[in-house]
Every structure is written in structure tokens, then in C-alpha cells.
Amino acid sequence: MITAFIGCQEDFLEEVDFVIEAPANVTANFVITQDNTGLVTITPQAEGATSFVINSFGDGSSDAANDIMPGTSVSHTYTEGTFDVSLTANGLNGLKTSATVPLTVSFRAPENLTLILAPEALTLTVSAKADFATYFHVYFGIEGEDPVELAVDGSVNYTYPTGGDYDVKVIAFSGGSATTEKTETVTMFTETLLPVDFESFDTNVFISFGGTSNSVIDNPDSSGNSSAKVGKVVKGAGETWAGNVITTTNPIKDLSIKNQIKVKVWSPRAGGTMTMKLENIDDAAVNSGEISATLSGNKGWEEVIFDMSAIDSSKEYRKIVWFFDLGTMGEGGDDWTFYVDDFSQDAKVTEPLTAAPKPLAHPDNVVSIFSNQYTNVNVSEWNPNWGQSTTLETVKIEGNETLLYQNLNYSGLVTNYDPGTALTGKTYVHFDYWTVDATKLGLKLVNTAYGDGDPKKEALVSVDAITKGEWVSVDIPLSDYTNDTAKFMQLVWDGSASKIWIDNLYFYNLPSDAPAAAAAAPSIASDDVISIYSDSYTDVNVSEWNPDWGQSTTLETVTIDGNNILKYSNLNYSGLVTNYDPGTDISSMNYVHFDYWTKDATKLGLKLVNTAHANNDEGKKEALVLAPAIVKGGWVSVDISLSDYTNDASKFMQLV
């Protein structure tokens, strides 16, 4: 039996209202890194949001970010500036709320700016460091200058025209508008090169050692030395070899010629010594040797000269080392105080002692401007006033007129302007120069038939490298000139404010392969002549021409203008024999004469041989006399005094 108990109760349901609203208070939190990278972390925020979308980062980029969950973030890199970040908050049932949130990104100014200034003589190298810097601008302290951009890890340099104090400014830039700048004063010195004074002097290269001290001070005694600044040296109680050194910026030049070192010295007492040497910067064993001079002293300025002519000029020397009273210990005080100034370099020989070499071109091939050896064309203007510093005078050296240019920066000459000086057929310009101080020398040819700016008007050709202390012959092909060299009106020297001697300025052409005309007929009366070979006289008999004595020479007789001429080819030596017994008597003669023409010979001599004497007969058998410097391209007459022959020239059997 189943018994069920059932109860009933009435249920009452009340209606509940659910309200769903769009997200509210939409915004974003921004965190900007402080390293000037522009990286920003963006965290969207809103009430009732289930996710977020960043529609635009506001910087013009196409980037966007979707499905950003509440409490999470996204990152984006900005430049410096103000941006409107657009975002949308998503709610339930697709409800959305959008908002624009302003963002300002500003970069930190560079911090801890440090300037690194490295002066060397007149050249300054600048680098810089700063936190947050992306680049720098450098100002070297020159009026009106534009800034020079400097990379973070780079360097820039500038060479100042003169020494002095300069305010160097560096501006550091970050990724934005904020900058940091710093200015420091740097003292620049002229390069330390001979001559050396102390007016604008790099004291870093003035070093004392062994117990001396040095400094640059106002000149304490202007009598005998008008310099404002001088070097002061005090020899204290240290080593007996205590001294000083000045290190030059570059090796001392031209020591083979300018081998005298001069210095002004003020010493407190008479009879002291100053010892100097020049020394290699890397190897002290490479030096000039110590050279000493006795000082007049008596508390006055004097010039002391140290002769370095024995120095090995193939080596390099940058150190000028000197000692006062080498070998004696100093005591300091007034009695051991010295002053020095005006270290300089000079040549032992400062001007040419001999004339320029005699030119070798034959007059027939020459247009001469200045030379005692030729007939010169007329020059209407010498060193005309074109604003140059040059002075010009004509001096005589061994009786030979020579042009002396002083302080030569440039100097011209004018032959004539109409029609000019023709150079037809000429292929070279020649001159000889002598100098101890020039650093450049060039010659400009000017054809004023052309106007200014026309490349055919003028051209300059310079000597490749200046040789000092000796006469140098220069031959420039006219083909090296790029203008029209058919004629010229002006010649212009281009120099380096130096002292130069010039001689033998002429144009010439190389000779042809053979003479175009015969030699001039001799004028000596036949009664006064013993002729060996000439169509103008009756010749003695020659038994052997060019006998085979092992020479390379070949000989032939050629005819020019109907005149018989001996032509020697590949002449190293060649002889002739008149007769061996009794020989050809020339005891009544005073001279031997011959005419020659050559294109390429460099020497020519004539030997008289008297075989009546044995080979060992105290030089009486034979002697050789050379012709003067060989002139090429024209007939040259040579007359040699028989007294120039040291052998017995009363007769001969052979001529060689």
C-alpha cells in the first residue's frame, strides 16, 4: 500500500529590470621612458569596458592596436611633440565609447656635456660626450663662422691662421628641441719651427731636465734685443748635464745647406759656455754631436752661432738641445740665470760664389732674354709695378751679370706688346737659379694677344723641387705650357717671398742631326799655319786616320756646302798619325785650333802625343786638354794654347 502525502503552495515571481550601458570615463595612462628614445607605454582605462582598440596613435603612422584587454598595455615610439591618441572602449552588447586623449612627449636635454680639446700647434681637434646627445655643433671661435656638425663618436678639426686664445663652443642636441651648450677657451700656438721665438710659443715643447728650470717671461733687457718675450733658464743644483730642449713640430729642413744654428743669449757672466746639439726625436744616438761656444756674458745679449755642417743631413732632427756650462753643477740664483731668444737657421754660404754655368745651346738656336753669352732681345720693362713685394737688381758674379730678386713673390718683365717676341721653332725655355731659402719657383708665359679668361693667354709651369745652395739649370719644354706659346709679351716669375739669383734666361730648340752649313773659313794666314785637315790650307800628310786602337769610333768624310768635313760617329776616342820619324814639328806654333759641331756630345778633348819620349818619361810623351763646356747645335771654334799641354809639345806624331 502506497501512501502519498501531497501539499500545494502558490509561487509569486517579481519582474527584475537589467540595464546595460556603454563604457564610461574612457582615457589612457601614459608612461614615457626617460632615455630620449620616445618609447611610450599606453594603458587604456574605462568603466564598463571589456576590451579596447587604439584607432590611431596620433603621429601620422598607420599603426593601430586591437583587442587590448583591461589592465594590459601597448607600446609605441614617438618623436618629440604633442599627439592626439584615439581609442575606443568596447562594452557588452556591442556598446562602444570613443575618446581622444592628448599626449605630450618631450625629450630631456643632453646632460654631463664634456668637451675634449686636443690642440697641436695651430690645429685643434674637438670631440665631445654627453648623456642623451644625438649629435653636436662645434664653433671654433672664429667670427662669422658656420657650425661644424660633430657625430657622437667622431671628431672634427680646424687650423687657425694665427696663435691666440679662442672660445670654442659646443652645442649638444638630443632627439628634441632641448639643447645643452658649453664653451671653453683654448690657447693655440704657432707651429714650433725654425726660426723660433717666444712671442706665440707652445711652452709644452720647452722642456728642462737634470735640475734646470725654464719659463717664458717678459724680456728683462731690451737693449740688444727688442723681443717682448724670451725664454728664461735657471741651472740649479742638480746634474752637471742639466739642460733644456725645444722639440720642433716637424724635422728641421735643409740642414745640408742651412747648417748654421743661431741663438740670442743673455748670460750673467763672461767666460761661460753654451753647448748645443740637434737630436733625433726617436733615437738620441742620432745627433749632431755636441758643439760648444764661449759666451761674452757681462749681462748683455749676444748672438751665438753653432756650425752644424758636419751633421748627417740624411737623418731627421726635431730636438734642439742645449746646456749652459756643461760639466759644472749649477747653483741657481742670479749667477746661474740665462735668457735665450730667436733660435734660427742660416746657410754658411748665403750667396753664389761662382757664376752660373755657361749655357750650352748654340746662339743660332737661341732667343735670349738675359745672358752674357748671347745677344739679348730688348726688354722694355723689368719688374714693372704690378703690386709685388719683389725688388730686382743686377749684380756681377765673377764678372758675369746676374739678376738678383729679393723677397720674390712674383715679378714680371715685358719685351714688347706689339708684335711680341716670336718663339717660332723654339721647344724649350732655359734658366739657371741659385737660392738658399726659396720653396717654389715658376715661370709664366703671357701672350697678351688673347683676352683675360682665354686659356690661350697665359700658363704657369713650376720647378718640381727646389735645390738649394748651388746653381741649378732648368729646361722646361714649351709643350708643358697650355697656352699659345708661338710668341709672348710678358714673362712672370712666381716665387715664395725669397731671395733668388737668376741667369741665362733664354728660349732654344734642340739641334738637328747634322749641320746645315759648313764651318766658317779660318782667317789665319797660311804662313802662320801647320794644317792637319782643312780645305782652306795645304795639309801635312796624315799616314793613319782612325787607326784600330780598340775604339768604337767610326770616321767618314762628308761634304757640306762643298766643304770637306770629318764626321766621327760613336766617338769614344780616335787617333791620327802624321809620321813617326821625325814627327811633325810645331815648335814655332802657339795654338792648336779646330771647329766642331755636335748634337749630343758632353765632352771633347785633344791629346798631343810625342812618341820620341817613352811612356815613363816624366809626362813628356803625351797630354790631354779638354775643350770648354760643350755647346750643341752650331759650329764652335776652339783655340787651345800649346802652353796648356804639359808634355813636350815641340813636335807630335799622334793626335788623339
The alpha-carbon radius of gyration of the chain (Å, integer) is: 47
| Residue type, position 149, single letter | E
- Environment class of residue 502 by beta-carbon count within 10 Å: exposed (0-12), middle (13-18) or buried (19+)? buried
Question: What's phi and psi for 467, nearest 5 deg?
Answer: -100, 135
Query: Do residues 89 and 97 lie in contact, with contact meaning Cβ atoms separated by under 8 Å?
Result: yes
pLDDT tens, residue by residue, 115-173: 999 998 789 999 999 998 889 999 999 999 999 999 999 999 999 888 889 999 999 99
**Encoded amino acid at 408, one letter:** L
- Taking only the tens place, the pLDDT of each residue in 72-89 is 999 999 998 999 999 999
DSSP string, 143-194: TTPPPEEEETT--EEEE-SS-EEEEEEEEEE-SSS-EEEEEEEEEE-----S
**pLDDT value at position 566?**
95
Say whether pLDDT at 17 is over 80.
no
pLDDT at 87: 96
Going by pLDDT thresholds of 50, 70 and 90, the confidence category of residue 492 is very high
pLDDT of residue 29: 93
Average pLDDT over residues 46-59: 95
Could you tell me if 465 and 435 are in contact, meaning their C-beta atoms sit under 8 angstroms apart? no
Mean per-residue pLDDT, 609-631: 90
Average pLDDT score over residue span 611-637:
89
Rounded mean pLDDT, 247-271: 92
Q: How far apart are alpha carbons 384 and 609 in whole angstroms? A: 58
**Per-residue model confidence (pLDDT) at position 191:** 80
CATH class of 111-188: mainly beta
CATH class belonging to 203-346: mainly beta
Cell numbers 737688381: residue: 393
C-beta neighbour count of 38 within 10 angstroms: 18
pLDDT > 90 in the chain, percent: 81
Q: For the structural domain made of 363-508, what CATH number should be given?
A: 2.60.120.430
Average pLDDT over residues 83-104: 94
**What are all long-range contacts of 17-25, with beta carbons under 8 Å and residues at least 24 apart?**
20/91, 20/92, 20/93, 20/95, 21/48, 21/91, 21/95, 22/48, 22/91, 22/95, 22/96, 22/97, 23/47, 23/48, 23/49, 23/89, 23/90, 23/91, 23/95, 23/96, 23/97, 24/48, 24/97
- pLDDT confidence of residue 18: 52
**Out of 12-21, 391-400, 487-496, least confident range:** 12-21
CATH 2.60.40.10 domain span(s) along the chain: 24-105, 111-188
**Beta bridge mates, 300:** 267
3-state secondary structure at position 335: helix
Residue 196 carries which DSSP code?
B
CA dist 90 and 87 (Å) reads 10
The pLDDT, as a whole number, for residue 562 is: 87
pLDDT at 3 over 70: no
pLDDT digits (tens, 9 = 90+) for 176-234: 888 999 999 998 877 888 899 998 888 889 999 999 999 999 999 999 999 999 999 99
Q: With beta carbons less than 8 A apart as the criterion, state whether 229 and 215 touch.
A: no
Model confidence band, residue 432 (pLDDT cutoffs 50, 70, 90)? very high
Choices 3.40.50.1170, 2.60.40.10, 1.25.40.10, 3.40.50.880: CATH for 24-105: 2.60.40.10
Instruction: Examine the pLDDT at 459 and tell me if it is beyond 80.
Output: yes
Span(s) in the chain for CATH 2.60.120.430 = 363-508
Asked whether the CA dihedral 526, 529, 532, 534 is positive or negative, the reply is negative
Identify any residues that bridge with 82 across adjacent strands, giving them in sequence order: 104
Check whether 6 has a pLDDT greater than 80.
Answer: no
Q: Decide if domain 526-655 falls under CATH 3.40.30.
A: no
- The boundaries of every CATH 2.60.120.260 domain in the chain are 203-346
Give 594-608 as a DSSP string: EEE--SS-S--EEEE
Model confidence at 341: pLDDT above 90: yes
Q: What pLDDT score does 176 carry?
A: 81
Query: What's the length of the chain?
Result: 656
| pLDDT tens per residue, range 542-597 | 999 999 999 999 999 999 988 999 999 999 999 999 999 999 999 999 999 999 99
Identify the three-state secondary structure at position 227. coil
